[in-house]
């Protein structure tokens, strides 16, 4: 029987588990806070930010909403980040990507105080992750580690294939699976658009993490029996629905589930975990900054 991994349920467990930590902070007079900065009028970015704020409020994290005109000079965003860095009442800072073309996104990541960088994308935090001493694990791969653990998928000694090498998903995922630590100790292969014979790689995998942004590219014939399949992709494809589209993953769910031992659906798999782990990192940030021991 293929296990369909329920990301909504695991995300709820994560949120429930944060309640004790938030209580411990509350006992010390601390309410964790996350500042979200939106410099875009893209409807998808607006939706992502409002979902993150709503998630915060539901668990007792203060959400600070900052919007900057997308036509404003880059300095306005950098000045805002500087102010948030200096504000002791702000524990986490998240700048919603992408920022407009006239803003250097690498400079945005460098500008955020690494102690408040709850996305885990600041070069210092990337370096710490690679060195096996992560402060904030990036939310999507961290959430995937939790999903694998919850489904009882052993990573130690497993052959893991990560499809995609982006800075936000593929690379940190590969690093986490490689770490000499719980949820790691896998033998990791990272594939990308130049990989020769992808199917040969995925067929020898015990774990496949698909993060390519290509609709339904991983099909059942590319998997061996019993593989754990984690589908990160969120792709809009034309469909005969009210909205005119539907969301599909990078995995062809129907054929893949015939081979897979466990598989995440889209939606309802990785997406809810990404959101939950942002809350986790924000609570961790509050504990670190306020010197309160939080049990996460």
Ligand-binding site membership of 164 (annotated): yes
Neighbouring CB atoms inside 10 A of 270's CB total: 29
| Closest to 150 measured CA to CA, from 262, 293, 28 | 262
Ligand-binding site membership of 66 (annotated): no
**Closest separation in Å from C-beta 213 to ligand NDP:** 3
* Distance (Å, whole) CA 215 – CA 119: 25
Q: 166 or 224: whose CB is closer to ligand NDP?
A: 166
| Closest to 145 measured CA to CA, from 15, 280, 270 | 270
- Who contacts 237 (Cβ-Cβ below 8 Å, separation ≥6)? 215, 245, 246, 247, 248
Q: 90 or 229: whose CB is closer to ligand NDP?
A: 229
Q: 259 or 274: whose CB is closer to ligand NDP?
A: 274
Q: 115 or 148: whose CB is closer to ligand NDP?
A: 148
Ligand-binding site membership of 168 (annotated): no
Contact in structure between 214 and 193 (CB atoms under 8 Å): no
Contact in structure between 45 and 70 (CB atoms under 8 Å): no
**Closest separation in Å from C-beta 234 to ligand NDP:** 4
Which residues contribute to the site for ligand NDP (CB under 6 A)?
140, 163-166, 168-170, 191-195, 198, 211-214, 217, 232-235, 270-271, 274
| Closest to 272 measured CA to CA, from 28, 67, 8 | 8
**Closest separation in Å from C-beta 247 to ligand NDP:** 9
Residue, CB closest to ligand NDP: 166
Report, as residue numbers or ranges, the catalytic residues: 52, 96, 119
Number of continuous H segments (helices) and E segments (strands) in the chain: 10, 11
**Closest separation in Å from C-beta 108 to ligand NDP:** 16
Ligand-binding site membership of 166 (annotated): yes
Contact in structure between 38 and 96 (CB atoms under 8 Å): yes
CA 204 to chain centre: 26
| Closest to 264 measured CA to CA, from 234, 296, 221, 225 | 234
Contact in structure between 36 and 66 (CB atoms under 8 Å): yes
Contact in structure between 30 and 296 (CB atoms under 8 Å): no
**Closest separation in Å from C-beta 193 to ligand NDP:** 3
Specify the DSSP element, H or E, that contains 229: strand 228-231
Q: 80 or 140: whose CB is closer to ligand NDP?
A: 140
Residue ranges of the binding site for NADP(+): 164-166, 234
Annotated binding site: 164-166, 234
């Amino acid at each position: 029987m293929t296990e369909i991994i329920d990301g909504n349920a695991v995300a709820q467990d994560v949120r429930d588990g944060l309640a004790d930590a938030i209580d411990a902070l509350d006992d010390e007079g601390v309410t964790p806070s996350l500042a979200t900065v939106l410099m875009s009028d893209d409807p998808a970015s607006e939706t992502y930010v409002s979902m993150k704020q709503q998630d915060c409020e539901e668990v007792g994290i203060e959400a600070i909403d900052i919007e900057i005109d997308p036509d404003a000079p880059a300095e306005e965003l950098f000045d805002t980040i500087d102010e948030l860095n200096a504000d002791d009442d702000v524990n986490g800072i998240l700048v919603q990507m992408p920022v407009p073309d006239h803003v250097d996104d690498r400079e945005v990541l460098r500008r955020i105080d690494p102690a408040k960088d709850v996305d885990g994308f600041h070069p210092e935090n990337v370096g710490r992750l690679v060195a096996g001493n992560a402060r904030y694990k990036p939310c999507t791969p961290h959430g995937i580690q939790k999903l694998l653990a919850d489904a009882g998928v052993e990573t130690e000694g497993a052959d893991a294939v990560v499809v995609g090498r982006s800075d936000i998903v593929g690379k940190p995922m590969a690093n986490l699976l490689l770490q000499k630590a719980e949820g790691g100790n896998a033998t990791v292969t990272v594939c990308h658009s130049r990989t020769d014979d992808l199917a040969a790689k995925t067929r020898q995998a015990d774990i496949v993490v698909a993060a390519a942004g290509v609709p339904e590219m991983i099909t059942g014939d590319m998997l061996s029996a019993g593989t754990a399949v984690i589908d990160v992709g969120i792709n809009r494809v034309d469909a005969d629905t009210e909205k005119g589209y539907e969301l599909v993953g990078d995995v062809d769910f129907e054929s893949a589930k015939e081979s897979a031992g466990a598989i995440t659906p889209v939606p309802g798999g990785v997406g809810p975990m990404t959101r939950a782990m942002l809350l986790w990192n924000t609570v961790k940030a509050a504990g670190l900054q306020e010197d309160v021991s939080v049990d996460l």
